[in-house]
Structure 1
Amino acid sequence: MMEAPTGILKDDELDLIREVEAERMELLDEDELLALHKRVRRARKKHTKNYRRLAAAGVVEEGARGTARPRHGKAAQRAEIFEEALSRVSNRLAAVAQETYEALKAERLERAAAGKSSGPHGSTGPAAGGVGPGRAAEHQTSPGTKKKQASSQAAGAKRQAKRDSK
């Protein structure tokens, strides 16, 4: 990892960079990694924005942001440090997410092989009221569908009553 030069980062920023060390990230679960990712991304965005603002102010004098960069070396270094830190956290998060995916997939396949469903109703297969071979699924109506049907029926009745009154 890129070593943060002394004097460039504040103490709380150094603490955040230390949290990105591989040994520390190994101890974090997926939710904790997501929280760390969010914090590092916010810090990266802050420092990138600050660097670009400083460099943009120098564009008038220098003619380009790239040529204005040497004057804003610390700001650029901070942005690069957090860019690398975000990359490390993103890679670790992707690896943990892939492991979780593989574990859940294996669990679902195992349950399917055992004849148990992990569907939305929590049924344990055809014997427990699920749909078996050769049997059509029953139509389920949601409260929203019932409301729409009732509204449509009421509108039709209203139109018919209007015709009948003429």
Structure 2
Amino acid sequence: MVWDMKALLNSLTEAELALVRETEREQIINADEDALVQLHERIRRARNKYVGLYRREASSRVAEFGGRGKARPKNTRNAEKAEVFEDALARVSRQLAAAARRSAQLLRTERLAAARQARNMAPPTASRRPAATRPAGPAKRAATPKRASPAAGQAARKRQAASAASGARRQAQRDSA
């Protein structure tokens, strides 16, 4: 496709030209992720508009010219506008991907820091006092946690087996249908 970018940009409407200018590197380099998502959606809509126009016009001329390829020279403006918006969409997509990677890395770092902080928040252990300051009397034993009865473990295994069996029956029924 041979076309003069400057001439094409001059033929865009003011709103279209403003939209393309919003995708220049200086404009999007410091944009946050939400702003980039909104810009990406607007650019994609404009690109889809001109791609659709190009295809509809070309398909309507098929009978006249014998094919979409032969009808193309009469429909270059829409194809070129679609190409301009495709280039703009690529610029915004690259910047959006970089912003998403940065925010994912930031969230990951924050999550790891929070996990480390939570792990380090264990209650301090009591230091052992010297024998002279210990209270007299029998040492208290820590309460041992109650263990589940053997019947409770057996019931859990039975429920798990029943669940697996019903899942296998459902799958066999689907396979045979």
TM over 0.5: yes
Identity of aligned residues (%): 43
Answering whether residue 5 of structure 2 is matched by residue 3 of structure 1, we say yes
Question: Where does residue 45 of structure 1 map in the other structure?
Answer: 48
Q: What is the TM-score with the length of structure 1 in the denominator?
A: 0.66
2: CA distance between counterparts of 1:19 and 1:45? 18
Residue ranges of structure 2 left out of the alignment (5+ in a row): 124-144, 146-177
Question: Is 2:58–2:75's contact at 8 Å kept on the other side of the alignment?
Answer: yes
Q: Which consecutive aligned stretches of 4+ in structure 1 deviate over 4 angstroms post-superposition? A: 124-127
Question: Is 1:43–1:82's contact at 8 Å kept on the other side of the alignment?
Answer: yes
Question: Where does residue 36 of structure 1 map in the other structure?
Answer: 39
- How many matched pairs? 120
1: CA distance between counterparts of 2:54 and 2:98? 31
Q: What is the TM-score with the length of structure 2 in the denominator?
A: 0.62
User: In structure 2, which of residues 118, 121, 140 is the aligned counterpart of residue 115 of structure 1?
Assistant: 118
Question: Where does residue 70 of structure 1 map in the other structure?
Answer: 73
- Residue-by-residue CA offset, 1:68-87 (whole Å, 9 max, x unaligned): 11111111100111111111
1: CA distance between counterparts of 2:18 and 2:113? 43
Residue ranges of structure 1 left out of the alignment (5+ in a row): 117-123, 128-133, 135-166
Q: Which has the larger radius of gyration?
A: 2
2: CA distance between counterparts of 1:9 and 1:90? 22
Question: Is 2:61–2:68's contact at 8 Å kept on the other side of the alignment?
Answer: yes
Query: What letter matches 2:71 in structure 1?
Result: A
Give 1:27 shift.
2.5
Query: What letter matches 1:110 in structure 2?
Result: A
Question: Is 1:48–1:79's contact at 8 Å kept on the other side of the alignment?
Answer: yes
Query: What letter matches 2:68 in structure 1?
Result: R
Answering whether residue 21 of structure 2 is matched by residue 18 of structure 1, we say yes
Question: Is 2:9–2:17's contact at 8 Å kept on the other side of the alignment?
Answer: no
